[in-house]
Every structure is written in structure tokens, then in C-alpha cells.
Structure 1
Amino acid sequence: MTFSAGFRTTKRRHPVRVSYSALLRVTDDDRYVLFDSPKRPGAYGPPGGVFKIHPPALRLLESWGFQPDRTTDGAERMRGDLRGILPVGALRSFQAWFATGTYRETAAECLLRELREELVEVGLDAAGPLTGSLVFTSVRTVLEGPTAVPGKDYLQVRRFDVHELALLDPAAVRLRRELVEAGRDDSCAGVICANYGDLAHGRLGRALIAPQSAFLAGPARLGPDLPPVR
């Protein structure tokens, strides 16, 4: 079996880890708004996260041998996350199913859910009501893999759907303004504004910058992954 990424394997049961996410791009001239991450404290990345599946998808994924990727500490929050291990022989079926949009969140649903949760986490609870009528426009989709992962016995395939706010109503305009102002405000420790040079360097002052932040600016990854809290 040959993949476009150049990896060849004849073992259909070889494990492959899949992780499909939606990211929100909020810009201020040449800078990007990034949120602190509870999974990687001190590391900042774009709002957003992994797609959730709906219950009818469980049987389908189980028929392909899907094993959810969960941590003990965050198991409840990770319930339904489209992140886990598949036999590599099931990868094309999985990708074809995802493309149909059946029994899973849309990118807009994923972004709204994640944004509402993360606003609370970074101390911007008051901005929550502004998310009620948000609309998003697609910027790009970045596909990675299958690639080998150092120190792991599986391959990895990841998808990042990058969207930005459509500034169609006063609530969206105000939310963008409040996020940018929080990123400029040193007293708001949960939000920063970083430019492309910061993304490439991998940090801004004491703040580490998560590598998926690079996809806000383009399709290329600029740095290695940061390990999550276990």
C-alpha cells in the first residue's frame, strides 16, 4: 500500500494515529491571536480543537478498529474526539467517511464549541455572548502524513481546517476587537498576539508557541510538536 506522502507499508494492521482539527485565525495586521492551552500550559496556539463525532459514528469507527486516544486526566473532555488509532488499512475508508460530513461536527460547530470553552479558560468569559451568531470562512486545509513519529510505533495523519471570522455583524466585529485587545494587554495572561517571526522562532518572551500556529500564516509547519501534559 503506497500513500502520496511517500510512506510504503504492506502491513494493513500497522497502527496509524489520526487527529482532525479546526483552527480559528484572528488577525491584527501582521499578528495572530493565540490562546494559552491547558493541555500544554505556557504554550499558546490558535483557538480551536479536535472535531467531535456524533454517537452513530461510533459503530462505524469501531468496525474499522478505531481506538480513541484519551488521557486519564482529560478523558471526560476528550469524549467523542476524532483522535485515535486505526489500522493503516482502514485509513482511506476513514478519510472518505470524514469527507461526507456524516455523523460529525462541521468546522463551524467545532469552532463555536471550542471557542466558547476556551474563552472561559483564558479569562474572557464576558465575551461568550458575542459568539451566538458567528459565521466562519475557510482559509486553508493542511494535511500531514502518514509520517513516522519519533519514539512511537505508529504513523500519524493530521488534518487542520483553518477558518477566520466573517465580520458580518457588530457582535463578530466586537469579538475580534476584544480578542486583539486581550492579546495586547499584558495583564491578560491567557492571550497573546504573535507575528510570523514569533511563530517561526517558537516563542514570544516567556510564551512558547504551539507549532500548529504556523498554519495561520501558511501551509508549512515551522517547528516540532510540544509534548502535552500526561
Structure 2
Amino acid sequence: MKPPPTFLPARRGRVRISFSVLLRLADDDRFVLFDAPKRPGAFGPPGGVIKFFPPAARILDALGFQPERTGSPHHKLRADLRGTLPAGALRRFRTWFATGAYRETADECLRRELHEELAEVGVHHLDRIVPELEFTNVRTVQEGPQSVPGKHYRQLRGFDVRELAMTNHAARRLSRELIEVAEDEAYPGVLLAGFDDIAHGRLDRALIAPQSAFLAGPSRLAPDLPPLR
């Protein structure tokens, strides 16, 4: 019997898209990573998928956008810029996305995600300083469109990497306290990982999500970890 193929032929009909913002928070040569609930046992940078606002729904519907649904609570996925598009609509989608109209900015996305994630990792007391945070751009990485091993679609993804603008007390406090928490065993949802750990994909028992590599450079070092569904 012939073994099953490693790659499924990509259908030219649809392209999966996903656009995210990641926060780079460094302590010398180590980076703060948070527990990733969708990938149990794995840690990745704070941040997440950009959301669109209600006026964009008609635009995306006209492009044939179909949102992705996974095992996460539905309210957390609502209005995520993650789903599939007809391949022929990709250029128009990119044009719309580049305008920034009717969607979160990178900073808005990070503030919303931090509100959620700080509570998830047990440091909800820092939530009140999130509105004061400002961020600066580190790099933007775009992958694809390209075939995905084992999937019937091609994929286009964007990662906007930001870091705290250390211009006020809130930014300095968040940085200082998250680094302290990452070294405290009482907070298992936060850790510090160096580039060697990221390249290896593991720190002790914790898996390191591959997008963590974008904190240090523009290249991915490992394939994705599958999420819960």
C-alpha cells in the first residue's frame, strides 16, 4: 500500500488569511511569552488577531470572506481577520487592509489583547494601566500566499511586531512587573525564553510557539503548532 502523501494539492479557489500583532517585551536577550490557551502547553508572544469593525462586514462579505471557527469561545473569534477568501479577491482585500479602514490598528489590537491575556495569566492588576500604553513598530512580516502541508488551501499571513514605547510610567511598570512575574514560579502562565529556546522550540516542559521567532528576526524557524478545534 502506498503511504499517504505528505502534501495535499492546494486548491486555487481559496486562500486562508490571518493578520496578527505581537508584542516584543525583552529582558536583555530573553523575551516574555504567555501561555497560549488554544495550544495547551505552548507559549507565545502577547498579542493576537486583528479585528474588523461592523462597517467592514459588508466589504468582506462582498469579497467572499468566510470567518474561521475553532474551539475558542465564539465571542472571542467574532470579527477576527482570520478566515478564507476566494483567490481572485486577494488583491482587493490587500488594498482594503492597507487603508486601515474599519479595522483595529496594531496598537488597538494589542491593548485589547492585553486586557484579556493579563487576566488569563494571573496578572489582572496590570489591566488598569493598559490604556496608557503606547507602542512602536519593530517589523512587519508577511508570509505567502503559499501552500500549507496537509491542507487544501494556500495561506497568507501578516505579523506586525511592536514593542512598548518607554515614555511613561505605565510602560516601565508593565515591562518590569511582567519580567518579575516570568521568573516567579507562582505564575506558570508567563516565562522568559531566549533565542536558543525559541529556535529549539521548547524550554523545559513548555513548547515555544513558532511565531515567537519574529520577536528576534523576520524568519520563521519551525512550522505551526496545531490549535484546538
TM-score if structure 2 supplies the norm length?
Answer: 0.94
Distance 1:208 1:74 in 2: 23
Q: Which residue of 2 aligns with 1:37?
A: 36
For residues 56-87 of structure 1, what are the alpha-carbon distances to aligned partners after superposition, in whole Å with 9 as ceiling and x for unaligned? 10111111110000125422210000000001
SS of equivalent residue, structure 2 residue 214: helix
Q: Who is 1:79 aligned against? A: 78
Q: Distance in 2 between matches of 1:164 and 1:71?
A: 28
In 1, Cα distance between equivalents of 2:72 and 2:176: 34
Measure the CA separation in 1 of the matches of 2:47 and 2:71: 21
The 1:73–1:45 alpha-carbon spacing in structure 2 relative to 1, beyond 3 Å, is closer
Residues 183-202 of structure 1: pairs in structure 2 closer than 5 A: 183-202=182-201
Q: Distance in 2 between matches of 1:117 and 1:34?
A: 15
Q: Please report how far the alpha carbon of residue 132 of structure 1 lies from its aligned counterpart in structure 2 after TM superposition.
A: 2.2
1-structure distance, mates of 2:193, 2:151: 31
Helix, strand or coil: the match of 2:157? Answer: strand
Paired residue type of 1:37: A
Cα shift readout 1:15-52 (whole Å, capped 9, x = no counterpart): 10000000000000000000001111110000000000
Instruction: Give the conservation status (yes or no) of the 8 Å contact 2:38–2:72.
Output: no
Equivalent AA in structure 1 for residue 221 of structure 2: L
The residue that corresponds to 1:169 in the other structure is: 168
3-state SS, counterpart of residue 118 of structure 1: helix
Q: Could you say which residue in structure 2 is the equivalent of 1:54?
A: 53
Take 2:61 and 2:129, find their aligned partners in 1: how far apart are those partners?
38
Cα distance in 2, alignment partners of residues 98 and 90 from structure 1: 12
* CA-CA distance at 1:186 after TM superposition: 2.0
**Is the contact between residue 71 and residue 228 of structure 2 (CA under 8 Å) also seen in structure 1?**
no
Percent identical among aligned pairs is: 62
Give unpaired runs (5+ residues) of structure 2. 1-9
Runs of 4+ in 1 over 3 A off after TM superposition: none
1: CA distance between counterparts of 2:176 and 2:169? Answer: 10
Shift of 1:172: 0.9
Residue of structure 2 equivalent to 1:63? 62
Q: Distance in 2 between matches of 1:107 and 1:61?
A: 19
Q: Output the amino acid matched with 1:30.
A: D
Matched residue count? 220
Aligned counterparts of 1:154 and 1:74: Cα–Cα separation in 2: 25
Indicate the residue corresponding to 2:127 in structure 1: 128
Tell me, in whole angstroms, the C-alpha distance in 2 between the residues paired with 1:140 and 1:187: 33
Structure 1 stretches lacking a partner, 5+ long: 1-8
- Specify the alignment match of 1:3 in structure 2: none
SS in 2 for 1:81: coil
Correspondence 1:23 to 2:22:
yes
Q: Secondary structure at the match of 1:132?
A: helix
Q: TM-score, normalised by structure 1?
A: 0.93
Partner of 2:193: helix, strand, or coil? strand
Amino acid at match of 1:200: A
Distance of 2:122 and 2:144 partners within structure 1: 35
Q: Which residue of 1 aligns with 2:3?
A: none
How big is each residue's C-alpha offset from its partner over 1:193-213, in whole Å with a ceiling of 9 and x where there is no partner? 000000000010000000000
Distance 1:92 1:203 in 2: 37
CA distance in 2, matches of 1:114, 1:73: 15
Corresponding letter in the other structure for 1:33: V
Residue identity matched to 2:156: V
Amino acid at match of 1:22: V
Aligned to 2:6: none
